[in-house]
Structure 1
Amino acid sequence: MPYRGGGTKTGQAIQHVIDNTMKTANGARADAQKIVIVITDGRSQDDVLTPSIALRDSGAITFGIGIGAGVLENQIQEIAGDTSRAFIVDTFDQLSGVILNHVKQAVCYDVNECDTNNGGCSDTCVNTQGSFHCTCPENMILDSDLATCISNTTGQRAAFDECSVDNGGCSDGCVDTLEGFNCTCAPGFVLKADLLTCEDADECLDAMCSHTCVNTPGSYFCECPKEYQMSEDRITCTLRASEADCDAGFMPKGHSCTQQNNEALAYVPAEEACAAAGGRLMKIADSGVRQIMSRNYQGANFVG
């Protein structure tokens, strides 16, 4: 409605909804619940009760929400028709919080499927929030239609594949069995106490690493202190070689010692020195690799 000034006329606005909005020509459907939420300053200068009653008589559910400090509580209750649908807040920001949840709870309600043809169940129908299921007397089980009870001649708990319905409720894998079903988890994950939901297995609880263990989703890895080095088994840390462990003329590198030659600083003499020692010289053309190797070997230009 266009704002024409002159004060608050909430009653007229509600009457406009009755005369126009709630008409089939304007989108109203017979199979849809009519819900009207009136947001106002709560100080209407006309009658709000009469049109509100007429609106509810037409089958609509009404909510009254007053915003601000000068709200008249009785007006909001007259618009809502019930205190459970009447709200007063200080600012518009509060509408998306508690008020929205209250509206949802009042509008949305569970339908009892068991009230209609016993939910299709041959025996007992059990209603749940948003759904239902059928159950059977002792010595009988549900057939594959999940509705008909049949005689249990094999000692099974059910005659159908539970995994075919919502994966049996399992968060990961579901395995059907003669007596029911089992949930399974991917490697590195275990079932929680509900036997349905998988959670990360903390492998570090088994103390597999010799030093530090770091748990990750579905796996783990071991870490070593800076003075240690990881072994090939990726579990055990061993002490790095120190200069005290190396003979004269050698320098520590990981778990081994490498010979250091400070005299053969050109390629040809370096190659000859390596050959004399029973080795061969590796020439590094890539500047990036050379920088890394040089740093690791304390500035040497050639590595034998």
Structure 2
Amino acid sequence: MSLRLIHVLNPFDSQNTDQQRIQEVTFQSIANALDFGTGHMEVKVCAIRYSEDMSPLPKYMTELPNLSRSVLDFGDFNPKRRYPLVGDIMEEAVKLNGDYYMYTNMDIALQPSFYDFVSRQIRDGHDAVIINRRRIPWEYANKELPEMYALEGKKHPGFDCFVFSKAIADRLILGRICVGIPFIGVALAHNLFAFAERLAFYDRAQLTFHLGMEVMPHREPDYYWHNRLEFFNRVKPSLWLHFDVSRFPYGRDWLPLRLIRWGLNPSLFIWMNIKLLLRKAFLSDRS
């Protein structure tokens, strides 16, 4: 009996031609990955968006009920941008009762073998998978997908592709984190660090890609600080007791190398992880 993976995305209408092209690439890459094969999984690709987003969706996508809230309901922001809450997106997705769930941003395109790879990870017993994207030059934006697939690209340190079991989905703590702004990946990743029993982490694999070589996205200060404060004041404290630092990326590396890798990754926090190391050492001494 095959497992059911719910892949949820948040498409949006935009007058920006670059954003339109990015979403076109993402949509076509998903279609190609579905055609390539999904292993022992049934994959249901779903879109959730606002009622004013009326652009036609690919036929393979199922549209979920429209979003109603946005980050604007929880603060005074300038400029006014109706960014959805990732918690609202996942709440609707979980209603579909999949065995596994997947969230990616709209700027993350898939290699053809992507779903087959994820299927094998699940078959091998992993309850969560994080896959970091490869960055390819923007000048390839108007080329055909096979040319994009062929590029090795460059490693990216942030987290932007998440697969996780129903058991984890039911426990997600995401506060009022909004999409499209730094700290969405941080929040999702740290939920998986907290709740996954067998997390698979791939930071170099050629499985997803992003058009553009930037490492740190543009920060809109009001939204950036909203997400940052939501993570450190609401999400992280709720996850804290569930953290085992050995389950974090690089958490079993030789200690000096571990600290270097944590320090170089903008989505990991060396000062926080050192506290977790000390807590783990203290608890081990007491036992």
TM-score, normalised to structure 1, is: 0.19
TM-score, normalised to structure 2, is: 0.20
Task: Return the index of the structure with the highest Cα Rg.
Answer: 1
Greater percentage in helix: 2
